[in-house]
Amino acid sequence: MRKHVLALIAAIVITGIVALSMFVVGVNALVNPNSTAVSNSVSAAATASSASAQDPATTIATYQAQIAQLQSQIAQYQSREQQYQQAISQDNSQLQQAASEVQMIQQLLAYLQNRGIIQIDNNGQIYVTGRSDN
Say if 43 falls within a structural domain. Answer: no
Say if 73 falls within a structural domain. Answer: yes
User: What total of structural domains would you count in the chain?
Assistant: 1
Say if 74 falls within a structural domain. Answer: yes
Residues near 52 by Cβ (< 8 Å), separated by ≥ 6? 58, 59, 62
pLDDT of 40 higher than 60 = no
Say if 114 falls within a structural domain. Answer: yes
Say if 86 falls within a structural domain. Answer: yes
Confidence (pLDDT) at 50: 57
pLDDT tens, 55-94? 788 888 899 999 999 999 999 999 999 999 999 999 999 9
pLDDT of 17 higher than 70 = yes
pLDDT tens, 89-117? 999 999 999 999 999 999 999 999 999 89
Neighbours of 115 (CB within 10 A): 13
Structural contact between residues 29 and 35, judged by C-beta atoms closer than 8 angstroms? yes
Say if 77 falls within a structural domain. Answer: yes
**Helix, strand, coil share of the chain (percent; to 5):** 80, 5, 15
